[in-house]
Amino acid sequence: MGDEIERRDKGAVTATVPWEYAAAPESKEIVRIQDRYGLFIEGRFVDPLSGRTFETINPATEETLSVVSEAGPEDVDLAVRAAEKAWESSWRDLPGRERAKYLYRIARSLQERSREFAVLESLNGGKPIKESRDVDLPLAAAHFFYYAGWADKLAYAFPNREPRPLGVAGQVIPWNFPILMAAWKLAPALATGNTAVLKPAETTPLTALLLAEVIQEADLPPGVVNIVTGAGETGAALVNHPGVAKVAFTGSTEVGKIIRRAIAGTGKRLTLELGGKAANIVFEDAPIDQAIEGIVNGIYFNQGHVCCAGSRLLVQESVFEPVLDKLKERLGTLRVGDPLDKNTDVGAINSAAQLSRIKELVESGIQEGAEIYQPECHLPERGFWFCPTLFTGVSQSHRIAREEIFGPVLSILTFRTPEEALEKANNTPYGLSAGVWTEKGSRILWMTQRLRAGVIWANTFNRFDPSSPFGGYKESGFGREGGLHGLEPYLDLVPR
Ligand code: NAP
Ligand code: MG
């Protein structure tokens, strides 16, 4: 019997049509979404002084999930003042071990409620439950645990220096990893004794608001964390507020440049985590099957809504054909659809605006002469979807090889020598990440020393750990988040 099943399965692997999976949707019951959300200021949910609200939707169905407040400058002002007050009256002088207790509480709560957070993340952002459940939530909790561990050890982190917190951190985050980005920003800020005002992305406010509930339950002193929802203007009001001592921004290079110009000369500290156009480089001696999984994970993971996505595949010419064949076959087995289905690999595109950006760039690829390949793909009628796509015959001057697509679209180029691979990989204004696939250790080292990218993966891709610093070169930004490096942007290090 066992043999029979095995044989049938083997047959299915080589067949052109993969077997059908029964639907396996995660239940929405665990999440209680309120009809309306206020702003989280000084430990309470309050109605916005602006009087403005906006709807937040499920991008997989276009259904409205809730109505959220839009913070105006007067609301941002209230939030920053609350954060200043909390900093001066308690948080700044609290011993590190006491701050750590709050961070541990938040971390444990995220773990305990991880299913609820994961379902809400997938509902509001469109990412597959498999990812929100197995990647985003465990990593978000791990960030709080990790930085809780540092809170009482700052003096050891920076010998011969007295680490002093800066004050209020104004933090603006994007929609691709909403809860994870909130954790990346808040955990190091709080661990180092700063207070925070966080502005989630317009399209994905709900998990940040659930985090506000967790923060309330953790009994964090009111005002230590404030969460103001809204769009770009809310973010601008926050970064430009004179009460903000430190700005931490993750988002597009375009907005990063605006922010850097706006705060020049104010003395505010700044870290920018911006876009990317990572090269995933496959040498002829690479373990090809493993590399295929890494390539797929690198660009189709989270619908390609990943700043460090491996959006340019550089393949050594001698293995171009087998890599392409296997990649096409693998693309045919990716399941696109309901983000809450546990078998879904590729979920919904985050917004209509993002979908039209992807379509526009894909169209440019066709116009400029690259060859497009898409597997047969049945997309749901409602919602925002894009079929996993790859391009061959891509030259370095094509827009799809230069611009960030931020969607499930891979551009494939070839190379002959390691020098050529390196030159092509570095031929970009970005420098966030890169991947190298080869059996040869010395080649990995040779490449990593020369690639101009902040994170380089060897024989893997898109792996994250809170103890490992993350950040860019060139137009991908500056400053590092994660690890020991992630503490420094939130501290003044005064010589003892
Ligand atoms: P975005 O437009 O730059 O938005 C990022 C955040 O900034 C959002 O919260 C946004 O609000 C806010 N914002 C917009 N204009 C602002 C302004 N003038 N001042 C202050 N804040 C402002 O980027 P996106 O389109 O949401 O996200 C995609 C981009 O982010 C991609 O380019 C991607 O590479 C980059 N990204 C980088 C990383 C990284 O770690 N390096 C991580 C994720 C994403 P609204 O959402 O309300 O517009
Ligand atoms: Mg925007």
17 within a domain of the structure (yes/no): no
CA of 174 to the centre of ligand 1 (A): 5
Distance, CA of 382 to CA of 290 (rounded, Å): 35
60 touches 347 (CB < 8 A): yes
Q: How far apart are CA 277 and CA 119, in angstroms?
A: 29
Q: Give me the mean pLDDT over the 267-273 stretch.
A: 98
Of 70, 84, 131, 307, the active-site residue reads 307
358 and 482 co-located in one domain: no
Task: Identify whether 28 is part of a domain.
Answer: no
* Average pLDDT of the segment spanning 377-383: 95
**Confidence (pLDDT) at 118:** 98
User: Which pLDDT score, from 0 to 100, does residue 19 have?
Assistant: 67
At residue 3, the pLDDT reads 38
What distance in Å separates the CA atoms of residue 109 and residue 281, rounded to the nearest whole number?
40
State the amino acid at position 15 in one-letter form: A
389 bridge partner residues: 409
The owner of tokens 């440049």 is: 257
430 plus 315 within the same structural domain: yes
Q: How many residues does the chain have?
A: 496
Same domain, yes or no, for 187 and 330? Answer: no
Residue nearest to atom 10 of ligand 1 (CA): 232
Q: What is the pLDDT of residues 152-190, one digit of tens each?
A: 999 999 999 999 999 999 999 999 999 999 999 999 999
Which ligand ends up closest to the CA of 203?
Answer: 1
- Asked whether residue 344 falls in the same domain as residue 223, the answer is no
Q: Are residues 390 and 481 in the same domain?
A: no
Ranges assigned E (strand) in 428-484: 433-437, 455-458, 477-478
Residue 473 has pLDDT above 60, yes or no: yes
Q: Is residue 231 part of a domain?
A: yes
Quick one: tokens of 76? 């941002």
Residue 181 φ/ψ, nearest 5 degrees: -65, -35
Beta strands per DSSP E along 142-217: 161-165, 168-172, 195-199
**Which string of DSSP letters, residue by residue, matches 87-140?**
HHHTGGGS-HHHHHHHHHHHHHHHHHTHHHHHHHHHHHH---HHHIIIIIHHHH
Assessment of whether the complete model's pTM goes beyond 0.85: yes
* Nearest atom in ligand 1 to 470's CA: 40
Residues with CB under 6 A from ligand 1: 172-176, 199, 201-202, 231-232, 235-236, 239, 250-252, 255, 258-259, 273-276, 307, 404, 406, 432, 477
**Quick one: angle between helices 206-217 and 96-112, nearest 10?**
120
- Report whether 168 contacts 240 (CB < 8 A): no
263 φ/ψ angles, rounded to the nearest 5 degrees: -100, 5
Could you confirm whether 387 is annotated as catalytic?
A: no
Are 184 and 231 found together in one domain? yes
Instruction: Note whether 173 and 251 are within 8 A (CB).
Output: yes
Separation between Cα atoms, residue 259 and residue 249, nearest integer Å: 9
292 in the same domain as 214? no
Ligand nearest to the CA of 251: 1
Does 364 share its domain with 224? no
Q: Are residues 189 and 302 part of one domain? A: no
**Residues 42, 131, 273, 481: which is the catalytic one?**
273
310 CB-side CA count, 13 A: 33
- For residues 426-430, give the mean pLDDT: 98
Centre of ligand 1 from the C-alpha of residue 330, in Å: 31
H/E stretch holding 53: strand 53-58
In a domain, 81, yes or no: yes
Stated as kind and residue range, the H or E segment containing 272 is: strand 269-273
Residues 344 and 423 in one domain: yes
Domain that holds residue 384: 279-466
Q: Which two tokens stand for residue 469?
A: 């610093």
Instruction: Establish whether 273 is a catalytic residue.
Output: yes
Task: Please state the domain count of the chain.
Answer: 2
Ligand nearest to the CA of 470: 1
Reported as type and span, the H/E element at residue 416 is none
**What's the pLDDT tens digit per position in 2-44?**
333 343 344 344 444 556 889 999 999 999 999 999 999 999 9
Give the Å distance between the CA of 281 and the centre of ligand 2. 31
- Cα-based torsion angle of the residue sequence 339, 228, 181, 309 in order, rounded to the nearest 10 degrees: 60
Whether 321 and 453 map to the same domain: the answer is yes
pLDDT at 6: 40
Mean pLDDT for all residues in the chain:
95
pLDDT digits (tens, 9 = 90+) for 314-352: 999 999 999 999 999 999 999 999 999 999 999 999 999
d(CA 279, CA 312): 5
Q: Give the Cα separation of 126 and 340 in Å (integer).
A: 9
> How far does the centroid of ligand 2 lie from the alpha carbon of residue 140, in Å?
23
Whether the Cβ atoms of residue 347 and residue 383 lie closer than 8 Å to each other: no
Segment 456-476 shows an average pLDDT of 97
Confidence of residue 230 (pLDDT cuts 50, 70, 90): very high
Ligand 2: centre distance to CA 354 (Å): 10
CA 4 to CA 271: how far, in whole Å?
Answer: 58
Q: What percent of the chain has pLDDT over 90?
A: 96
Let me know: does 70 contact 199? Beta carbons within 8 Å.
Answer: no
**Which atom of ligand 1 is the closest one to the Cα of 177?**
43
The answer to whether residue 4 sits within a structural domain is no
Q: What is the CATH number of the domain that holds 334?
A: 3.40.309.10
| Closest residue to atom 4 of ligand 1, CA basis | 251
Q: Is the pLDDT of residue 397 over 70?
A: yes
Query: How far apart are the C-alpha atoms of 250 and 235, rounded to whole Å?
Result: 11
**Structural domain includes residue 185:** yes
Residue 476 CA to ligand 2 centre (angstroms) = 17
CATH of residue 109: 3.40.605.10
Give domain status of residue 23, yes or no.
Answer: no
Residue 1 pLDDT more than 90?
A: no
Top mutation candidate among 307, 350, 358 for ligand 1, by most atoms within 8 Å of CB: 307
**Closest by alpha carbon to 233, among 23, 450, 73, 20?**
73
Residue 22 lies inside a defined structural domain of this protein? no
76 and 179 both lie in a single domain? yes
- Pick the ligand that lies closest to the CA of residue 200: 1
pLDDT value at 410 more than 50: yes
